[in-house]
A = this chain, B = another copy of it.
Amino acid sequence: MAKPTPLSGFPEFLPAERVVEQEVLATLARTFELHGFGNIETRAVEPMDQLLRKGETSKEVYVLRRLQDTGQGDAGMGLHYDLTVPFARYVLENAGKLEFPFRRWQIQKVWRGERPQEGRFREFTQADIDVVGRDVLPFHHDVEVARVMLDALSRLSFLPGLRLQVNNRKLIQGFYAGLGAQDTDEVMRVVDKLDKLAEDKVAELLVTEARLDEKQAVQCLALARICTADDSFVEQVRALGVEHELLDQGLEELAAVVRGCAGLVTDKVRIEADLKIARGLDYYTGTVFETRLDGFESLGSVCSGGRYDALASDGKVTYPGVGISLGVSRLLVPLVQKGVLAGSRSVPSAVLVALNDEDSRAGADAVAQQLRANGVPCEVAASPQKFGKQIRYAERRGIPYVLFTTAEGGHEVKDIRSGDQVAADPATWTPPTADLRPTVVSTGSTTESNGSTTDDQETKQ
């Protein structure tokens, strides 16, 4: 075959780039499990009627067909485009065997049948956490999922800073209702355009499309402008003089999320009550989350979610849920492609076991197994070249140490970065922890060079 070319929208990593993704996925998984979230994986396919329940995404589904299918068969299956639809189905299917509240993490690929175009992924990885209850789900789980994701993000110390932006649908819809708006959904839909349109244009649409008067429109924009890192937003909202029971509930809930997360905030990972966040097209009913990456705002939200009063329902029992989904590919593909993040080496090996001649391979294999028994990743040289060549073999792969067997049958290990070479017993020698496995290297350049991407593939799922 001729040299194949990449498929637009299906990003793949080179081995050293994959190191970054592996580290991120492992850290997420570890953090989710520290918080008691269990893991599941769901099949890649769902029945088309499930995938098409949300009208908006129906255009973006990949439908499957068996190549030799004669008309029957697998018609009616498509690849999942998020992890929420399959999770809801899994909960209903296994409800009798699950313990509620059921807390799960799930990291899998999802697919969207987009037309090929710059900046659109057709295959990407998402990392989701959700808590789902049977009939009821206490509000404190809204705080919990925010805490878990903040904890996970703050452990990814090589990332640029992140802002978790929280709002509450009850708050904004209660406010609009308190103002006297007739169609609060429509008001929300218009206000949600603030990230695309200028304020005066949105004010105009609030009058023409959401049928508010000008004073009401001004009030809506004043609410949307409120953004605080603590619970002082409550006072600012109160100062606008609008009253409604739903608004009170929303204020209380949003304040609880911000206060509940305060202990996990760091210099780099922050939380904000941002009252313009609405996540317009999704069926959220309370808390909503979005997340911006400092210096990469044009990526849109890299981590989004919220509360659903009915994540799933079988007609008799309703399962409320709250969750948050990190767009792993959306976050990492640009950072890796721009060279902001890289793996420190292309292989896991910390040590290359050098080979004196081909006959000594069995001995070199035995030495390597001694190192592995102590958890040291290593490989034996592919061929007994001159030592200079074996060292360059290690160098090209980023392997920091080469272990030699001396003429007397002893062993010496060379740090090829410093050139230091010392005697070492393979049964006990281990490299410093920092060299044990590949690490993620950040160039520290945390501003995007190109701010043209403004797609909303995940922002408006």
Task: Name the contact of A65 in the complex, choosing from B62, B348, B361 (C-beta under 8 A).
Answer: B62
Bound-complex Cα distance A227 to B416 (A): 46
A263 near B369 with CB under 8 A, answer: yes
24 residue pairs bridging A and B, Cβ less than 8 Å apart: A1-B89, A12-B40, A12-B42, A12-B90, A14-B94, A35-B372, A36-B347, A36-B348, A36-B349, A36-B378, A36-B379, A37-B347, A38-B348, A44-B123, A58-B67, A59-B68, A62-B65, A63-B64, A63-B65, A67-B78, A73-B115, A101-B382, A103-B347, A141-B382
Task: Please report which residues of chain A, range 27-64, place their CB below 8 angstroms from some CB of chain B when the two chains form the complex.
Answer: 33-45, 47, 50, 58-64
Would you give the shortest CB distance from A122 to chain B, in whole angstroms? Answer: 8
Would you give the shortest CB distance from A432 to chain B, in whole angstroms? Answer: 18
Number of copies: 2
Contacts of A123 in B (CB 8 A): 43-45
Task: Please report which residues of chain A, range 307-366, place their CB below 8 angstroms from some CB of chain B when the two chains form the complex.
Answer: 312-315, 346-349, 358, 361-362, 365-366
Q: Does A92 touch B at the CB level, under 8 Å?
A: yes
Q: Interface readout for A83-109 with B: 1 if CB under 8 Å, 0 if not?
A: 000000110111101110101100001
Q: Does A5 touch B at the CB level, under 8 Å?
A: yes
B101 near A346 with CB under 8 A, answer: no
Would you give the shortest CB distance from A253 to chain B, in whole angstroms? Answer: 14
B92 near A1 with CB under 8 A, answer: yes
Q: Does A377 touch B at the CB level, under 8 Å?
A: yes
Contacts of A94 in B (CB 8 A): 14
A1 near B67 with CB under 8 A, answer: no
Q: Does A198 touch B at the CB level, under 8 Å?
A: no
Q: Interface readout for A1-40 with B: 1 if CB under 8 Å, 0 if not?
A: 1111111001111110011011000000000011111111
Q: Does A295 touch B at the CB level, under 8 Å?
A: no
Top 10 A-B pairs ranked by shortest CB distance? A36-B379, A66-B113, A36-B349, A33-B348, A10-B43, A15-B38, A34-B372, A61-B67, A59-B68, A4-B93
Contacts of A15 in B (CB 8 A): 38-40, 98, 104
Task: Name the contact of A10 in the complex, choosing from B45, B376, B377 (C-beta under 8 A).
Answer: B45
Contacts of A437 in B (CB 8 A): 33
A36 near B6 with CB under 8 A, answer: no
Would you give the shortest CB distance from A73 to chain B, in whole angstroms? Answer: 7
